[in-house]
A and B are shown apart, each in its own frame.
Chain A
Amino acid sequence: MKRTFIIIAVLSLIMSFTFNMGAQEKKAVRKVITFDNTPVKRPYSPAIEVNGTLYVSGQIAIDQLTGKLIEGKIEDQTRQVLKNLKNVIEKAGYTMDNVARCTVLLSDIAFYPTVNKIYMDFFPKDPPARMAFAVKDLPMGALIEIDATAVK
């Protein structure tokens, strides 16, 4: 009798552990943010959302309609990049205020003050954390690239 009790108790304990583990095992759901009218196929998604965090791919100053880099100087490219970023963020159901961090890649560190002025228009209050630096080269000869991570 006593032995049966012990066996049942141990089995119940093991079963309850297994059930608990099963309940706690949460699979991260991954959502891909896409645009239907993307003219060119690329090996990355505009953004991925997982666990309440939105990872946005680095944006360069591409005109969404032509798929080409816009004409213009650093001011025009910066504005286009931030507009593209805002587009993806809003398509995913987030706002610019949700952006927690950005990486700003410049083709020339001398662009820093000019870029900052325009950047402030898009993040007027409590701007995200940031990393900014000049790189050797950017795709398509772009002058600037910015990525972002947003958290709701």
Chain B
Amino acid sequence: MKKVINTLNAPVAIGPYSQAVEANGILFISGQIPIVPETGKIIEGGIKEQTQQVFRNIGAILDEAGYEFKNIVKSTCLINDMADFKAMNEVYSGYFPDNKPARAAYAVKDLPMGALIEIETIAIK
């Protein structure tokens, strides 16, 4: 049984995907970019502001699905520029103080809407 998660507190999907899908006790959250839900636009600022917005969006979806940040088991972090790695990590580690999830992180050529960062997460309760 597949359950689709939908909340207005996270950005509306800008393509044919669901914000998150829960199946077999696993929550798959779509890659989040730093869109501000109220405006539908990428948040102003650099990598730190964008990373914070991404986490706000992830948090809203986790909330709606009844999960917490500590349930995240794996994340994939895509950045536009490897030089942003350190700054991104500083914001990222604030959300995972201990028992950090597994992760893959790398720089890509481009992200939708010119975002500097996109993070996909998988959570299990």
Contacts and interface: CB of A to CB of B under 8 A. Distances in A.
Interface of A: 52-53, 97-98, 100-102, 108-109, 112, 116, 119-120, 123, 126-136, 149, 151-152
Interface in B18-35: 18-21, 23-24, 26, 28-31
Interface stretch (B47-55, B82-90, B109-117): B109-117
Contacts of A126: 2, 4, 18, 21
Contacts of A120: 16
B2 A149 contact: no
Given A151-B24, A152-B24, A109 B111 contact: yes
A133 B120 CA distance: 12
Nearest to A102: B17
Contact of A123 (B16, B19, B20, B109): B16
A127 B111 CA distance: 20
A116 B112 CA distance: 12
Given A109-B111, A112-B15, 7 more contacts: A108-B110, A119-B16, A129-B20, A129-B29, A131-B76, A134-B109, A134-B111
Contacts of B18: 126-129
A116 B24 CA distance: 27
Contact of B15 (A52, A97, A108, A116): A116
Contact of A131 (B20, B23, B30, B110): B30
Chain A facing B: main interface SS: mixed
Q: Which 8 A-B pairs have the closest CB atoms?
A: A131-B31, A130-B17, A134-B110, A151-B23, A109-B110, A101-B28, A129-B30, A129-B28
B19 A98 contact: no
A133 B30 contact: no
A128 B17 contact: yes
B108 interface: yes
A145 to B, nearest CB: 13
Contacts of B24: 52-53, 151-152
Nearest to B5: A129
B78 interface: yes
- Taking each of B24, B28, B112, B118, which has the highest tally of chain A beta carbons within 10 Å of its own beta carbon? B28
Contacts of A131: 30-31, 76, 78, 118, 120
A135 B110 CA distance: 7
A126 B13 CA distance: 12
Contacts of B15: 112, 116, 119, 130, 132
A126 B2 CA distance: 9
